[in-house]
């Protein structure tokens, strides 16, 4: 029915609908306005090195070849084609000699994922272009698995926002963009999928809408590349403009628009644990992305989080199923730990250099409470009375938020210095960002500025009545 209307009328209708829907998610205060990066750099005292080089692990490539490395991933609403696009990228790159094709079914591996036809767990895929090597994270789009999306996005240096042309922007499109920005991703590329299902006029309107939305969330809505295509056509080997050429154009834009990140290789290594499993006869393996530093075989390390600190040693390191002597910041790795049982490992724990991190359940942070127009709360919060779930990197935990001294309440749309009290001791270094969610909705975001002495938490988990002056 929409296709039968005049183009100018379609634009007016969609513009009015867009204004009505997106007015709720416009950001008046950006994260950088209340927690400037310059302040974080001063506090964390990070000495940044020139961009690292990465040895590709693809079997068909020469071991001596060295390319830049970048972590990227797909974000967007459920059923908009994120997993199909991931599969299409590997299929096109296989034709060009840069990757091994990984089918849709091999990306969504679990039984539940196949039965429901959705991505539940973030999947990691490795591939290369002529300019860079990529570790690609396919994030789930379903609102029930936003925890897994946060975990996947926290490992990204850049992102591909996937939007179906027959749907346009949807609730998870908005929330994923918000979370991706909060997690520190500065640049992304947009892929308008299923372009073969709509007219060109509709594609133009969707591009206008997404550029406005990107600007609302602090991205560059003007310069951000927008590629139009169809992942399904590319998977079928179609060579029309919406088929394989659109995938190659997308990869070209990613290579040129998303910069190769600068890594901190001097600091002691830190790796949030995203997954763990057991290899019979060998031991337990933890999987994650190194945030900083360099890790070597036989290094002594600490496994920390959820109130525990366990000492162990690195037995083996693998990058995309290939054993290597060491790994650097930015690498997605599997690490075999010595004398550690699987039941001792929890997702969200941190693997770090021996005696390099502190375990605490008390932190000071800069915190911003989203307004109702931004999708947050409509009511203010008060000290002690506000206890919700805190998400950071690959973990989440119950947290109490206390406002700074002399402040009785924090209104939606305002920011303040707060003190965080976690149910269990976690590793939360200065400069690390976090998100607060309430009733499956993102309501706040913040950044740690200081580590405070721990307090004793009753076995009952009562965060309301604890004495914050305890040592």
Residue 367: count of CB within 10 angstroms of its CB:
25
The catalytically annotated residue of 11, 15, 142, 382 is 142
The catalytically annotated residue of 22, 79, 313, 398 is 79
Task: Name the token pair of 281.
Answer: 């006869």
The catalytically annotated residue of 83, 129, 394, 421 is 83
Instruction: Measure the CA–CA gap between 448 and 244, rounded to whole angstroms.
Output: 44
CA atoms within 13 A on the CB side of 187: 16
Per the CB < 8 A criterion, the answer to whether 55 and 204 are in contact is no
Task: Name the token pair of 179.
Answer: 């979370």
**Of residues 94, 108, 82, the one with CA closest to residue 192:** 82
The catalytically annotated residue of 77, 82, 194, 292 is 82
CA dihedral 229, 232, 236, 239 (to 10 degrees): -10
Catalytic status, residue 289: no
Catalytic status, residue 372: no
Catalytic status, residue 415: no
Instruction: Measure the CA–CA gap between 374 and 395, rounded to whole angstroms.
Output: 24
Instruction: Measure the CA–CA gap between 230 and 165, rounded to whole angstroms.
Output: 9
Catalytic status, residue 53: no
Task: Name the token pair of 207.
Answer: 């591009």
**Residues forming the active site:** 79, 82-83, 142
């Amino acid at each position: 029915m929409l296709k039968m209307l005049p183009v100018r009328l379609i634009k007016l209708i969609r513009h009015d609908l867009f204004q009505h829907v997106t007015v709720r998610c416009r950001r008046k205060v950006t994260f950088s306005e209340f927690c400037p990066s310059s302040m974080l750099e001063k506090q964390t005292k990070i000495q940044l090195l020139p961009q690292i080089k990465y040895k590709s692990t693809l079997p068909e490539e020469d071991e001596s070849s060295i390319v830049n490395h970048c972590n990227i991933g797909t974000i967007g609403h459920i059923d908009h084609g994120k997993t199909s696009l991931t599969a299409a990228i590997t299929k096109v790159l296989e034709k060009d000699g840069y990757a091994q094709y990984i089918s849709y079914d091999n990306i969504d591996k679990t039984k539940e994922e196949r039965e429901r036809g959705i991505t539940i767990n973030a999947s990691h895929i490795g591939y290369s272009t002529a300019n860079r090597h990529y570790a690609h994270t396919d994030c789930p789009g379903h609102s029930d698995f936003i925890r897994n999306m946060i975990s996947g996005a926290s490992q990204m240096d850049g992102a591909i926002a996937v939007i179906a042309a027959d749907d346009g922007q949807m609730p998870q499109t908005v929330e994923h963009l918000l979370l991706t920005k909060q997690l520190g991703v500065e640049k992304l590329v947009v892929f308008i999928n299923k372009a073969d299902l709509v007219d060109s006029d509709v594609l133009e309107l969707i591009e206008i809408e997404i550029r406005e939305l990107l600007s609302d969330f602090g991205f560059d809505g003007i310069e951000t590349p927008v590629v139009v295509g169809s992942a399904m056509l590319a998977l079928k080997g179609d060579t029309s403009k919406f088929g394989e050429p659109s995938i190659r154009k997308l990869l070209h834009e990613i290579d040129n628009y998303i910069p190769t990140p600068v890594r901190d290789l001097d600091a002691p290594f830190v790796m949030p644990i995203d997954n763990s499993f057991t290899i019979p006869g060998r031991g337990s393996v933890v999987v994650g992305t190194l945030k900083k530093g360099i890790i070597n075989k036989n290094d002594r390390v600490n496994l920390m989080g959820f109130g525990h600190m366990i000492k162990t040693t690195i037995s083996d390191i693998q990058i995309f199923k290939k054993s290597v002597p060491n790994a650097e910041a930015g690498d997605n790795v599997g690490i075999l730990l010595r004398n550690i049982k699987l039941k001792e490992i929890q997702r969200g724990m941190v693997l770090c250099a021996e005696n390099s991190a502190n375990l605490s359940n008390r932190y000071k942070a800069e915190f911003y409470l989203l307004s109702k127009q931004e999708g947050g709360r409509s009511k203010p919060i008060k000290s002690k009375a506000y206890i919700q779930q805190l998400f950071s990197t690959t973990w989440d935990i119950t947290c109490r938020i206390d406002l700074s001294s002399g402040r009785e309440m924090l209104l939606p749309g305002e920011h303040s210095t707060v003190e965080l009290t976690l149910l269990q001791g976690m590793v939360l270094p200065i400069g690390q960002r976090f998100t607060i969610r309430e009733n499956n909705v993102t309501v706040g975001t913040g950044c740690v500025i200081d580590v405070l002495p721990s307090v004793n938490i009753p076995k009952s988990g009562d965060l309301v009545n604890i004495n914050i002056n305890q040592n």
